[in-house]
Amino acid sequence: MSNLITCRTCRKPVSANAEFCPHCGEREPSQFVFRSSAIIITVLFLILVIYGIFVLVIR
Q: Which is nearer to Zn ion, 25 or 52 (CB)?
A: 25
Using the rule CB under 5 A, is 5 a contact of Zn ion? no
Size of the site for Zn ion (CB under 5 A): 7
Say how far apart CA 58 and CA 48 lie, in whole Å.
Answer: 15
CB atoms within 10 A of CB 7: 20
Using the rule CB under 5 A, is 15 a contact of Zn ion? no
CB atoms within 10 A of CB 4: 10
Of 24, 33, 52, 55, which lies in the binding site for Zn ion, with binding defined by CB under 5 A? 24
Using the rule CB under 5 A, is 26 a contact of Zn ion? yes
